[in-house]
Structure 1
Amino acid sequence: MPILERIHLAIMREVDRQGSLTAAAETLHLTQSALSHAVRKLEDQLGVPVWYREGRSLRPTQAGEYLLAVANRLLPQLALAEERIQQFAQGERGTLRIGMECHPCYQWLLKIVSPYLAAWLDVDVDVKQKFQFGGIGALFGYEIDMLVTPDPLYRSGLHFEPVFDYEQVLVVGPQHPLRDAPWAEPRQLSGEVLITYPVAIDRLDIYTQFLTPAGIAPKRHKPIETTDIMLQMVASGRGVAALPRWLVEEYAQKLDIAAVRLGQQGVPKQIFLGIREADADIDYVHAFVELARAHRIL
């Protein structure tokens, strides 16, 4: 008779999320006594405690940490399997859940989603920009089915398809002294306010491929969430930004901004679509990849 059941994994995850048996019991629609009994029974069957009890709080033991990792990995897969089977039973194909690790790529994605939805009437599309475990973890954890990223992390079981090349450039406003320069040097940004998306510095190309190797830091780093506000700030002389050239050229039609090459050689980049290898033969997944390749941005 199997010891571990799905409810045990759900208990592990909810107790960790909620921080107490009382809150977890409410989320799982159980009484606290029933939940406590289930935890004690599981520990008796396993022969090892899974929680340290610290007053009203619970902290996972080493065995509990392992079970929690299993729960976080398996429960989303089971939920997805049930959802897909239900969709098949209702004559639907499913939902393609796309994760974004490329903030400025949202406009590009919209150009693909429209014809894709027209071609695949029985497939829905959902776009996620925040993940519980990061982009790669979200793929492995079945939070998403596809990841749009400029920085693929190759792992066994994943496949990354390059879909287009682009150049990362500096964006400056109308009165900026670098506006007509052939390229910018790192030292020229030491007195600048650098506006970026709210992403860790070690994942920003302007730092990793331009400033940091030269030992340079900007005067100030200002995170802004939306592309429109970021470029309005640049156009009003409040700072500079680093974005794909194609995106800057689109916005330059309505804002007084200009693109300047980062260094004499520039900063070349690629956008990749990451999928699970096991999903590569799913027709509507494959079709999206092919459509994305056809919508390359030059």
Structure 2
Amino acid sequence: MLERIHLLVVREVDRQGSLTAAAEILHVTQSALSHTVKKMEQQLGTAIWDREGRGLRLTQAGQYLLSLANRLLPQFEHAEQRMKQYAAGERGTLRIGMECHPCYQWLLKIVSPYLSRWPDVDVDVKQHFQFGGIGGLFGYDIDVLVTPDPLKRPGLRFDPVFDYEQVLVVAEGHRLANAKYIKPEDLTDETLITYPVDTDRLDIYNQFLGPANVAPRRHKKIETTDIMLQMVASDRGVAALPRWLAEEYADHLPVVSVKLGKDGIAKQIFLGTREADEPVDYLTSFVELARAGNGKPARIRR
């Protein structure tokens, strides 16, 4: 019979690279762990590891167990932590995953009133997930996913939070600053500055440049919005950002926003959650607060 300890052993041996190191993490002796491994393989009726000298290599069955361990163990650990918090009269931590770089400014406007409303709940923000944002939800690494690109999956729900328009941001003196709208070919001689995201996940590429088979002269990636827009203001490149964010920076930087294409690029931000977490009041409260429009950016301009 497959037991939780089997999954723990497979995961830790894979993480640590040896029985000796895994035994230390699991607080058992190496001989005890070796006995557990032998008994586990006897119970399951198949080899989990191939022995290669003093090393171990997972068999096909072992690879399957490792995949199962990476999915199920975080859920057990999350549930145990939640039970301890309930027992201590605590609420816990709301873990927010971000797949939207420019949404940090918006998130800050939501978090402030949320923390006031829920003083016994902490907030943690994560940007990197082992299996992506959707995997982060399924693996219980995060509780809420902020994303412009929802992927419908059984067991998950995505609530639209706000609409926005993706625009091109240029310096006030740039040759495109007074254009009515931008055409893809206008960017062939430009340095395009973006967040460090895969090109196929950038709207400026997959909804604007790609369909026209056009590429910018240079593509430069910058992590922070402040530095990105300082570069734009210095006329060292152009950037595609939400209009609401660009206009906030236009209050103190010499930058302007120009529509991408004649009809513009309309987008939405969604909050993804697990359907099973619907009874968790402090989680649903966050979604309700976000949908109510606290700190809500302006809607797309037509």
Which one of 221, 226, 230 corresponds to residue 228 of structure 2?
A: 230
Judge which range, 192-201 or 136-145, deviates more.
192-201
Gaps of 5+ in 1: none
Counterpart residue number, 2:253? 255
Q: 1:211 to 1:49 in 2, by over 3 A?
A: same
- 1:56-205 matches, cutoff 5 A: 56-205=54-203
Distance 2:231 2:28 in 1: 51
Distance 2:233 2:30 in 1: 57
SS in structure 1 of the partner of residue 62 of structure 2 = helix
CA RMSD for the aligned pairs? Answer: 1.5
SS in structure 2 of the partner of residue 13 of structure 1 = helix
User: Which amino acid in structure 1 is aligned with residue 179 of structure 2?
Assistant: A
Shift of 1:56: 4.2
- 1:247-286 matches, cutoff 5 A: 247-286=245-284
Distance 2:291 2:112 in 1: 15
| Deviations 1:199-255, CA, capped at 9 Å, x for gaps | 111111111101111111112211111111111111112211111000000011111
- 1:37-56 matches, cutoff 5 A: 37-56=35-54
User: Which amino acid in structure 2 is aligned with residue 297 of structure 1?
Assistant: P
Question: Identity, % of aligned pairs?
Answer: 71
Q: 1:56 to 1:167 in 2, by over 3 A?
A: farther
User: Which amino acid in structure 1 is aligned with residue 10 of structure 2?
Assistant: M
Gaps of 5+ in 2: none
Q: 1:23 to 1:196 in 2, by over 3 A?
A: farther
Counterpart residue number, 1:207? 205
TM-score (norm 2): 0.94
User: Which amino acid in structure 2 is aligned with residue 115 of structure 1?
Assistant: P
Distance 1:172 1:16 in 2: 49
Judge which range, 267-276 or 46-55, deviates more.
46-55
User: Which amino acid in structure 1 is aligned with residue 145 of structure 2?
Assistant: L
Judge which range, 23-32 or 265-274, deviates more.
23-32
Size of the aligned set, in residue pairs, is: 296
Distance 1:189 1:53 in 2: 56
TM-score (norm 1): 0.95
